[in-house]
Amino acid sequence: MDIKQTVREGYAKAAQETDGCAGTPSETVGYGEADLAAVPEGTPSFGCGNPTAIAGLQTGETVLDLGSGAGFDCFLAAPAVGSTGRVIGVDMTPEMIDKARKNAAQAGHDNVEFRLGDIENLPIESGSVDAVISNCVINLAPDKGKVFAEAFRVLRPGGRMHVSDLVLGQEPPEWLFEDDAALIGCVGGALPRDEYLALIAAAGFTGVTVNAEHDATAWLNGYLEQGAEGGSECECGCCGTACSLPDGLVASLTITAHKPAA
């Protein structure tokens, strides 16, 4: 099946459930109690970091969340930009957009909107955004260079991008590229760390900085074992422990980058 279709189906299913991208409780990826209390009840996080925490959002700013899922990070950004600001979440999975819109309505967030769209071809005007955020999404896109080019296009000159995502710290086992659970779990499509950072710079961003980095292998193993027991297409011989990823294989990075001022 087409990569995007596999990802879309995986997240349509996840929208009905409460577990995160790789089964990670939100607290362990950098959300504090205040963050968790600020989002509407029943909004799951599918993230692997907390890019909003370092975004330095100001009243009146326009924020774009690439792959907004159920809206978790948008709901953190909404009070920071206030009623004169705007938060736009873009996601390609209709079930996620529905869930996010319901969560926004329930919480009365009228400065947040969700648009159905592909982050490789953003439904957003050029030069209209102050800050792009994204949490554990770009690894899922087949053309990551295009995503960064689109983020660069929609930012105003002097705007910034804050991204949390999974990258590879070493050569992965072959089966990882064939396994749908690994793809949906944000590791099957992940790039080597340096390649990922180089793509951001190649899109025109400057000051590309890794703000936080932690090993994510253990919780991904937990997710993959669950997936295998649930009947994933695990091709590694004996599912379960045989699917385990080697220590140090996957890292979660939180990155800041800037679009130069004109």
Ligand X SMILES: C[S@@+](CC[C@H](N)C(=O)[O-])C[C@H]1O[C@@H](n2cnc3c(N)ncnc32)[C@H](O)[C@@H]1O
Give 116 or 218: the residue with its C-beta nearer to ligand X. 116
Pairing label, strands 250-258, 206-215: antiparallel
180 touches ligand X (CB under 6 A): no
| Residue among 230 and 237 whose Cβ is closer to ligand X | 230
Alpha carbon separation from 9 to 94, 96, 119, 184, 254 (Å, rounded): 10, 11, 17, 9, 26
Beta carbon of residue 75, minimum distance to ligand X (angstroms, whole number): 10
Comparing CB distances to ligand X, the nearer of 72 and 205 is 72
Identity at 67, one-letter amino acid code: G
Judged by CB under 6 A, the number of residues near ligand X is 26
Q: Is 103 in the site for ligand X (CB under 6 A)?
A: no
Angle made by CA atoms 126, 109, 100, in degrees to the nearest 5: 75
Residue nearest to ligand X (CB): 69
Query: If binding is defined by CB under 6 A, does position 45 make contact with ligand X?
Result: yes
Residue 118 touching ligand X (CB under 6 A): yes
Is residue 47 a contact point for ligand X (CB under 6 A)? yes
Is the Cβ of residue 91 or residue 130 nearer to ligand X in the bound state?
91
Query: Considering only 101-109, 118-126, 169-177, 239-247, which stretch makes contact with ligand X by CB under 6 A?
Result: 118-126
Tell me: does residue 136 bind ligand X (CB under 6 A). Answer: yes
- Name which position in 30, 67, 169, 189 contacts ligand X (CB under 6 A): 67
Sole binder of ligand X in the list 21, 57, 64, 81 (CB under 6 A) = 21
As measured in angstroms, the least distance from the Cβ of 187 to ligand X is 11
Query: What is the sign of the dihedral through the CA atoms of 151, 156, 158 and 163?
Result: negative
If one asks whether residue 11 binds ligand X (CB under 6 A), the answer comes out as: yes
Which one among 186, 190, 239, 255 touches ligand X, defined by CB under 6 A? 186
State which residue, 28 or 241, has the beta carbon closest to ligand X: 28
Tokens standing for 132? 């792009």
Binder among 39, 92, 163, 224 for ligand X (CB under 6 A): 92
Q: Please tell me whether residue 140 binds ligand X under the rule CB under 6 A.
A: yes
Interacting residues with ligand X (CB under 6 A): 4, 7, 11, 21, 45-47, 67-69, 72-73, 90-93, 96, 118-120, 135-137, 140-141, 186
